[in-house]
Structure 1
Amino acid sequence: MAPYIYTDLQAAASDLRLVALQPGSYNDILECNIIHCPLLEPEAAVKDERLPVSELQKTLSDGWTVDQTLDGRYLFMSPRNSGIPNSWQHPDANCDPKAYDLPKRSADDTGWHVPPYEALSYSWGTADNEEYIHITDPADPLQTPSWLRIRANLVSALRHLRYPDRQRLLWVDAISINQTDDGERGREVKRMSQIYPLSDKVIIWLGPESEDSKLALETLQYFSEQVEYIISHRWGDAPNAQERDWWRDGHTLPYEKKTWESIDSLLHRSWFERVWVLQEALSCNRVQLQCGRDTISWVSVRKALLVLRQKASILPPEIRGRLLPYARGLMAPPLASSEHLLLWTRNQQCSDPKDRIYGILGLLDPRIVAKIEVDYSFPVWKVYSQLVLAEKEVYQKLNMLNHCNILTRFEGCPSWVPNWSQPVEGANTGYLSIRRFYASARSSAVAKLIKPAYHLQVVGRRVSTICRVGRNLTGTFTEVIDEIFEWAPKEPRSNIYVSGGLSIDAYVEVLVRGRTSDRAQGDNPCPSIGRLSQLLTQAITSTELDDEVAREFKDCFFMNECLFTTREGYLGVSAKGLREGDEVSVILGCDFPMILRPRGSNQYEVVGPCFVYGLMLGEALKPPLEPPWKDVLPVTRGWALSYFLNSQTGELLKSDPRLGLLPTGVEEVTMLDPFLPPFVFKNKESGHISMNDPRMSAEAIKQRGTVLETLELI
């Protein structure tokens, strides 16, 4: 037999290679045909004629809410403490079910791909113990088959998936893509967002049954039937739940050690460790996870893991340590931002570091993806730079700079290019993955790439210069207590901070990096600044450490962080690597203050992001917010957008009272786009949508008297 020789895919015909797996028993030789067919978008997909959630909410009586679950269904949630179960049915029996029931797809729908195929999601594994499969020609069954070598994990998957009496049509990347052709690999990577959604079903292959995998799947299945998770990042009882309150953090689950160990083993299967597989699982609504012969729907697994993550206090440490970082990926849009996904990829495995970007393209905003060229011949840093530049061009934002770190940067490459191939450490872990700060106050980035040096010219304001840097904060509150006490205000009840208020209040907010209830609206488990200040003041003046202090501050510190102060009196925290003389700057379009290192001639090296009390909500670019107004951050659809509360009247404004009216011809509108904030700005004439406030353009900021500079990031 000769090796199989690929026939080129015809791009003009939208060619797709499918694997026709021939029938046989488990131990028979693996045989398949490789056929070409066009990958076509459906002529008429199933229409969703339901009311939008916002409109359906208007039909509910006081206390009831409705939102969408992970599988697209509408869940009606009863008033708090009413005792009425959540329901799939509208509480008003007269409401037409067509307004909220999820439309079902049937075999007659024209949304199916023809011919229907299933897409396989699996871990490639190592190149050890490769086996040969036979490739036959359906047009000439008497011709001697050719062979193709595949890895052991795929061999196991195909043996388990093969039907005994009929062929099975699959798309399998290791076979359907000519892996020796980099050009074809690049083109097919950009089509992943079509290949998986258009499949009849996605099959996640975890491997053969072992280590009580059946018990793990049965446990996750039953748990998922008791809970529901909605896309506004809330969770609770499922309708008809047999076990009420299993979703609550402190509610103990009746699982023995063997059960927890089976779940831990499942989560450490190689599929859960790879970058590529997540977009395959999340890009289609029809996904089945298979382990040996046992199956479970992927949405059940995803829902169970997301809710279990919220029960951190009762999880065994080994599962908590695996589940907390992994769940960032499960919270893909519309639950989370691209920054969540990028933090997720940095803890996952891939053979080529470029795949930390290429492997999640199917989950990113298509407008961003259109700006990224998939080319495996590019150096890694250039692939990563494309994402920074794409965000700048599409959103007029520079939040990808938040992932820069001087200790992990590419040697000899631009400092403004994040190195996503390094694991997450330090400050990036804690506060960069949440949309709750607006140092640049919804301003539009002004940036330009300078070639051939590949410098990035940006506009911003240099605010202050670092004059003191603390020691490493790695450890628990108790372990770093000496460092905390050393940096605490000497007179906590009287020292005043540079931007106003007591220094002890500023200090505790830096220690917890803004995780307080003061600015949040609605349910918030975080303590108030006042309570934290009281506890820390008591600890400073007492000879004994109160347990409540350690408990409230227990999750505040991450590896390789340090405190710092500036000549102007600001206090902040950042990842290790900064030094005296570095400058804190607010760059237009970047939602965290950045630490820059002067390199002469108005050139700067990016050190990394930081949290600085008094600079996190646009203070560097706006006039002071006068009483009785104060910033608050209600969370809407996962976005903590800055609102403004009149503390005397209770009036709540979306529009900043300091900025005046919107320009003529611009209006603020509600947006359901999962990649954009729920409220955006629309030009009435052109229809152009922007997430940035036109009153925070560079020109508007300058007209209000703020001095901006052009800074060259090298």
Structure 2
Amino acid sequence: MQSRQLVPLMGYQHRRLHTAKSIRILKLYPAEHSKEPLRGRLIEVSLDQDPQYEALSYAWGSEDRVRELECNSGIYHITFNCWQALRRLRYRDEPRFLWIDSVCIDQDSHRERNHQVGLMGEIYSRADRVLVWLGKGDYKTRKAVKYLKSIATESGSELRRWLTLDMVLDRKIVKVMDRDSSVLSCLNALFEREWFDRVWPIQEIALSQKCVVLCGDESIALDDLMNSLESLRNVTYTSDEIHRVHFHKEMWRCVREYSLIETWKWNVNSCSAMLLKARFQNASEPRDKIFAFHGLFERLGVRFPMPDYSKSVSQIYTEAAYVAITNDNSLEILSGVTGEPGPYGALSWVPDWSNSRPISEIIWYKHEGGGSIPPRYQFWNAERLLTLQGVAIDRIEETSLVFPEFNEFLDSSIAEVEVLCTWRSKFEKYSIGRDMAGFFDRFCGPSWVRAYHNVDLPPSEKWLKAIRRYKADSKTTLNRWLKLWGDVYCPEKSEHGHAVLYLFNMLTIKPPSGTGPLRMHQLLRKLLDRKTMFRTRRGGIGVGSMFLRAGDSIGLFAGCNLPMIIRKDKVYWRFVAPAYLDGVMFGSEWPDERSLGNFTFV
């Protein structure tokens, strides 16, 4: 041991790989004690030879390489998260063969990086097992993993499988949360781990043959985690940290169904839907918001350009939008444009994937603003110009206050309700004889059904009644609202408390009975995120992105489910964002063929 310390080791240099299917595998040497230095050897193998290895899926965390791995008689510097994972995975009595992106790929070689990223789908799908490392555990994460295991056991029982007793299981979940109020906090602590936020893990687990999730000393099979998430899906008062991981579950299930049934045709718009959901995941490299799905697209038969980090971000995003439209024969990808200026100068019809907190979408399915006909589109100038067939039906005359950005904090609701009060005043002024409750029923109805599996109309009348009761008070402080917390459970004691029940997103474990208006308010907070209410020249009322402005036109386009706010830019047009325009969402304004014209967008 002392002689090793006396001889300084040189930094490790990757050697060039020999074949198109070559990868490196880390042979991690065993150690009896956890504090012993990490030692290993990188071995070149070919995927064609079916090598035996496990693939690591983890979040890099800080990219500073502050720890050491003794590798091939040299020193290779690794990140702290990687170092932690290797210490956890190292065996005591035999070597372990691992594939780890930050170690096995020469990150300094753009050529190798491009090629290996293109192989990553195959690397994870061929691995004997994928090991997900969430980081060091604590009391909360240990409790969360044990709870998820118990849910998975219940959800996989023969009784539930044959009798489909979903409601029985839901009651059990609720009962446990009632008995132990810390359960939700523990689940949040687990799902707040950075791994769930990153874009690469979506593909890594979806393509795995077998996968286990590790957090500290605790572990859970991926199948069990996914089954427990399916059961938690119906417990609608769980937090956003839990609901955001359902994208992992959807992609995991999608690949398995595609693999099990060769003739199965996956959702016709799944390429667009996958790319739109990818925006909410994080990546240090903006190009990875697209490249991280290359293996998934390959598995699902979608022809996508090979990863190439020498291309500009704008070019990569344009290629992604082009593939989404042409592969799906759908314009759904347009639902992701927001009008917000981006850092990479993307075209107006291309979503900005670099923004992980985009303005919330207006729901695409269930609407047919552009008629129930296929899209009519054509690309020009090396796929930079997009021509659609449609008609401009109206122009924006006036906008109102912008609804605040969605967040979890209680005090933000005060500003939100003040915006809603302003909207109500404008609506009643310009919409004589029209029903505002009906407007919000229609606006959030499809999302209400989707979020709460409730076919009844949302409780707009009760919600509006609470809005009308609200009296804006500039002297109201957060402390004053917190003093009214108890009124949530006994709203009849106080009319003010009744409004709090309806309007404020109380972070309680068990929502009180009769909270339909509260649920509606929670849903609307997300649907109205950074949107404004507008009035059109023809007297229409709608909701759209904060970046629309008076003078913008409203267009309907063949095959485009949503009305689009558009803006003339010299010769061509620019998309601003989709909009909800009451009365035109189901094709009632779609004209006959003779009225259609061509609109070319940059």
Give the alignment's TM-score, normalised by structure 1: 0.66
1:200-211 alignment, distance < 5 Å = 200-211=128-139
The alpha-carbon distance between structure 1 residues 123 and 465, as it changes in their structure 2 partners (threshold 3 A), is same
Q: SS of the residue aligned with 2:232?
A: helix
Task: Please tell me whether residue 323 in structure 1 is matched to residue 242 in structure 2.
Answer: yes
C-alpha distance in 2, partners of 1:346/1:178?
27
The alpha-carbon distance between structure 1 residues 339 and 249, as it changes in their structure 2 partners (threshold 3 A), is farther
- Aligned twin of 1:135: 71
1:265 is aligned, of 185, 189, 195, to 189
The answer as to whether partners of 2:124 and 2:208 remain within 8 angstroms in 1 is yes
The alpha-carbon distance between structure 1 residues 620 and 491, as it changes in their structure 2 partners (threshold 3 A), is closer
Q: SS of the residue aligned with 1:288?
A: strand
Shift of 1:114: 2.8
C-alpha distance in 2, partners of 1:383/1:214?
41
Instruction: Summarize deviations over 1:515-559 as a string: whole Å, max 9, x none.
Output: 467xx9xx9514338x74698599879999986784464122332
Q: SS of the residue aligned with 1:564?
A: strand
C-alpha distance in 1, partners of 2:17/2:470?
74
The alpha-carbon distance between structure 1 residues 559 and 537, as it changes in their structure 2 partners (threshold 3 A), is closer
Q: SS of the residue aligned with 2:174?
A: coil
Task: Please tell me whether residue 556 in structure 1 is matched to residue 524 in structure 2.
Answer: yes
1:443 is aligned, of 360, 371, 374, to 374
Letter in 1 for 2:593: G
The answer as to whether partners of 1:471 and 1:563 remain within 8 angstroms in 2 is yes
| Stretch moving more, 376-385 or 419-428 | 419-428
1:181 is aligned, of 109, 117, 124, to 109
- Aligned twin of 1:616: 585
- Aligned twin of 1:473: 403
C-alpha distance in 1, partners of 2:197/2:248?
11
1:16 is aligned, of 23, 28, 33, to 23
| Stretch moving more, 155-164 or 343-352 | 343-352
- Aligned twin of 2:507: none
1:595 is aligned, of 562, 565, 571, to 565
Task: Please tell me whether residue 120 in structure 1 is matched to residue 44 in structure 2.
Answer: no
Shift of 1:124: 1.4
- Aligned twin of 1:4: 12
Letter in 2 for 1:604: W
Instruction: Summarize deviations over 1:425-461 as a string: whole Å, max 9, x none.
Output: 4442xx34x6333333351341213259x33333322
Shift of 1:135: 2.4
Task: Please tell me whether residue 386 in structure 1 is matched to residue 312 in structure 2.
Answer: no
The alpha-carbon distance between structure 1 residues 506 and 243, as it changes in their structure 2 partners (threshold 3 A), is closer
- Aligned twin of 2:307: 374
- Aligned twin of 1:405: 338
Letter in 1 for 2:213: L
Runs (5+) with no aligned partner, structure 2: 1-8, 255-266, 405-412, 472-494, 503-513
- Aligned twin of 1:162: 90
Shift of 1:207: 2.0
1:34 is aligned, of 37, 42, 48, to 42
The answer as to whether partners of 1:407 and 1:577 remain within 8 angstroms in 2 is yes
The alpha-carbon distance between structure 1 residues 321 and 392, as it changes in their structure 2 partners (threshold 3 A), is closer
Shift of 1:11: 4.2
Give the alignment's TM-score, normalised by structure 2: 0.77
Letter in 2 for 1:274: R
The alpha-carbon distance between structure 1 residues 146 and 121, as it changes in their structure 2 partners (threshold 3 A), is same
C-alpha distance in 1, partners of 2:395/2:166?
56
Instruction: Summarize deviations over 1:179-200 as a string: whole Å, max 9, x none.
Output: 1111221222222221111111
1:485 is aligned, of 417, 424, 434, to 424
- Aligned twin of 1:194: 122
Q: SS of the residue aligned with 1:604?
A: strand
Shift of 1:331: 2.5
Shift of 1:297: 0.4
Instruction: Summarize deviations over 1:142-162 as a string: whole Å, max 9, x none.
Output: xxx123221122122112212
The answer as to whether partners of 1:372 and 1:390 remain within 8 angstroms in 2 is no
Instruction: Summarize deviations over 1:315-347 as a string: whole Å, max 9, x none.
Output: 4xxxx1322334334322756845554454433
C-alpha distance in 2, partners of 1:293/1:538?
49
Shift of 1:600: 3.1
C-alpha distance in 2, partners of 1:559/1:418?
17
**Looking at both structures, which has the greater relative contact order when contacts are Cα pairs under 8 Å and sequence separation is at least 6?**
2
Shift of 1:573: 1.0
Instruction: Summarize deviations over 1:555-612 as a string: whole Å, max 9, x none.
Output: 22332111123223432211211111111112334332211012233x2121111122
Aligned-pair Cα RMSD in Å: 3.6
The answer as to whether partners of 1:466 and 1:584 remain within 8 angstroms in 2 is yes
Shift of 1:221: 0.7
- Aligned twin of 2:593: 705
The answer as to whether partners of 1:596 and 1:605 remain within 8 angstroms in 2 is yes
Task: Please tell me whether residue 573 in structure 1 is matched to residue 543 in structure 2.
Answer: yes
The answer as to whether partners of 2:137 and 2:216 remain within 8 angstroms in 1 is yes
Aligned positions, number: 524
Q: SS of the residue aligned with 1:468?
A: strand
Q: SS of the residue aligned with 2:365?
A: coil
The alpha-carbon distance between structure 1 residues 308 and 514, as it changes in their structure 2 partners (threshold 3 A), is closer
Shift of 1:388: 0.8
The alpha-carbon distance between structure 1 residues 535 and 177, as it changes in their structure 2 partners (threshold 3 A), is closer
Q: SS of the residue aligned with 1:247?
A: helix
1:319-358 alignment, distance < 5 Å = 320-332=239-251, 337-338=270-271, 341-358=274-291
2:555 is aligned, of 577, 582, 585, to 585
- Aligned twin of 1:226: 154
C-alpha distance in 2, partners of 1:33/1:368?
36
C-alpha distance in 2, partners of 1:538/1:18?
62
Q: Percent identity?
A: 23
Letter in 2 for 1:166: E
C-alpha distance in 1, partners of 2:469/2:11?
78
Instruction: Summarize deviations over 1:289-323 as a string: whole Å, max 9, x none.
Output: 1123322101222332343243133x4xxxx1322
Task: Please tell me whether residue 462 in structure 1 is matched to residue 389 in structure 2.
Answer: no
Q: SS of the residue aligned with 1:332?
A: helix
The answer as to whether partners of 1:508 and 1:533 remain within 8 angstroms in 2 is no
Instruction: Summarize deviations over 1:118-141 as a string: whole Å, max 9, x none.
Output: 1111111214462222223xxxxx
- Aligned twin of 1:527: 456
The alpha-carbon distance between structure 1 residues 458 and 267, as it changes in their structure 2 partners (threshold 3 A), is same
- Aligned twin of 1:274: 198
- Aligned twin of 1:80: none
Letter in 1 for 2:116: E
Letter in 1 for 2:289: R
The alpha-carbon distance between structure 1 residues 575 and 307, as it changes in their structure 2 partners (threshold 3 A), is farther
The answer as to whether partners of 1:509 and 1:516 remain within 8 angstroms in 2 is no
C-alpha distance in 1, partners of 2:315/2:403?
33
C-alpha distance in 2, partners of 1:503/1:125?
51
The answer as to whether partners of 1:120 and 1:172 remain within 8 angstroms in 2 is yes
- Aligned twin of 1:663: none
Runs (5+) with no aligned partner, structure 1: 41-112, 137-144, 230-235, 496-501, 623-703
Q: SS of the residue aligned with 1:372?
A: coil
Letter in 1 for 2:387: Q
Q: SS of the residue aligned with 2:134?
A: strand
